[in-house]
Amino acid sequence: MGGGEGWIALVTAISQVFAGIAGKVYLSSDGRLMRKIERDADILEKLPPPAKALMENLLVWEVSQHGLRRMRRASRKISWSALFAILFVAGITAGIDWALAFLAITYGWGWWIPFGIVTLFGLLLSVTGIGQLFVYPDDNGDQAA
Pair 34, 59: CB distance under 8 Å: no
Name the pTM for this structure: 0.58
The residue segments making up the domain with residue 77 are 5-144
Pair 136, 76: CB distance under 8 Å: yes
Interval 47-97: pLDDT, tens: 888 888 888 888 889 888 888 888 888 888 888 999 999 999 999 999 999
The domain total for the chain is 1
Interval 102-137: pLDDT, tens: 999 899 888 889 999 999 999 889 888 888 888 888
- Backbone CA torsion sign across 86, 88, 94, 100: negative
